[in-house]
């Protein structure tokens, strides 16, 4: 009997590339030519840290166009890699609902870092978009009881 063959692994859907001056020029050129879809395709091949670097190197108008195009596929971690000024701009471009949803997906320490760089009014506005834990009529949030087995030894 022959041994069962391992199933072939599918190729990776997205191959990450490194940010280079040539790639930055290609993205910028695509945006200048009105081909935001091509610019997004190039940008989304990058690791999120490189996407952040790319956004920081683009002009405001180009950054606005690129964010509008990649918005549906935006990785929330991108926010953690942006400079403060660019992050605030990207949060504005995303809108409160999507920015709040992105922040909710971050690790707690990263979410605190992102929120901490915003002014208090913006922090409150974003926090108000986050889902609240379920509560009963008295405001109590029930927690599951510990398993009985944990007490029986």
- Model pLDDT for residues 8-27, shown as the tens digit of each residue: 433 334 557 889 999 999 99
Q: What is the mean pLDDT of the chain?
A: 84
- So what's the pLDDT on residue 7? 43
Q: Is residue 48 part of a domain?
A: yes
Tell whether 80 and 46 lie within a shared domain: no
Dist CA 52 CA 113 (whole Å): 16
Q: Is residue 117 part of a domain?
A: yes
Q: Which domain holds residue 121?
A: 75-132
Q: Does the pLDDT of residue 3 top 60, yes or no?
A: no
Number of compact structural domains in the chain? 2
Dist CA 38 CA 49 (whole Å): 20
Verdict on whether the full-model pTM lies above 0.85: no
Q: Is residue 128 part of a domain?
A: yes
pLDDT tens for residues 40-65? 999 999 999 999 999 999 999 999 99
Tell whether 68 and 82 lie within a shared domain: no
């Amino acid at each position: 009997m022959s041994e069962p063959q391992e199933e072939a692994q599918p190729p990776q859907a997205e191959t990450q590339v490194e940010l280079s001056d040539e790639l930055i020029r290609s993205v910028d050129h695509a945006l200048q030519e009105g081909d935001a879809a091509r610019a997004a395709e190039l940008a989304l091949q990058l690791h999120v840290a490189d996407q952040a670097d790319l956004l920081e190197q683009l002009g405001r108008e180009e950054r606005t166009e690129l964010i509008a195009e990649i918005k549906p596929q935006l990785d929330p971690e991108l926010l953690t890699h942006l400079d403060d000024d660019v992050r605030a701009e990207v949060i504005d471009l995303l809108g409160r609902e999507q920015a709040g949803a992105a922040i909710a997906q971050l690790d707690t320490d990263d979410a605190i870092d992102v929120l901490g760089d915003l002014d208090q009014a913006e922090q409150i506005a974003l926090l108000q978009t986050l889902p609240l834990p379920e509560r009963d009529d008295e405001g109590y949030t029930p927690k599951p009881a510990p398993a009985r087995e944990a007490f029986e030894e």
